Amino acid sequence: MKRSIFSLLLICLSLQLSACSNPKSSSTTEYNSDTLIKNSVEIPYYQGKVYFIKNTVKNQVPARIKSQSVFNQYFGYAYTASSWKNRAIDFEKEEVLVYDAGVVQRSMEITPVALRQDGRTLHLFLKVKSGAAINYSIHPFLMLIIDKNKADKLIFHVQQEKAK
């Protein structure tokens, strides 16, 4: 029974990852800490921590979102005691980068390491730390808000870690 559930989860994860990648706009690679690109420029960003992926979203969230209408299809705003301090995203001047880990039943922490630009390519370096299995589904993601950028391509460089 455990093998069949594990096999099913593995197949679902593989299908989700392959179905949602768009080779023209974004891709994902493994990296180690020595991989940071030497002749690139650091891009400033801030994290969108007060948003959540709506329960109605069944597919992967786009890696780059440049308009409020597309953003509203995927994200809601979490009203908390401290969220009033956060400013709204100005899509006239800003865009959103999203690393979507998909729906999982495992605790997960996604941390940005660096955002760099090399020519017309953005490189987002991040760490994904997988934890223990949980009894419910979550949809972990990382959202970075940056100034509008003319880059053609976005590459995620992911360093996978297992929680101890």
Which residue, among 94, 100, 111, 87, has the nearest Cα to 159 in the 3D structure?
111
Q: pTM of this prediction? A: 0.76
Beta bridge partners of 121: 118, 153
* Cα–Cα distance list, 111 to 1, 154, 157 (Å): 34, 17, 12
Residue 24's region, left for phi above 0, alpha for psi from -120 to 50, else beta, is alpha
Write down the mean pLDDT value for the chain. Answer: 81
Residue 122 confidence (pLDDT) above 90: yes
Residue 110 confidence (pLDDT) above 50: yes
Residue 74 confidence (pLDDT) above 70: yes
Whole-number pLDDT of residue 63: 97
Are the C-beta atoms of residues 26 and 154 closer than 8 Å to each other? yes
Are the C-beta atoms of residues 24 and 120 closer than 8 Å to each other? no
Are the C-beta atoms of residues 111 and 161 closer than 8 Å to each other? no
- Residues 30-37 have a mean pLDDT of 56
- Residues 118-122 have a mean pLDDT of 93
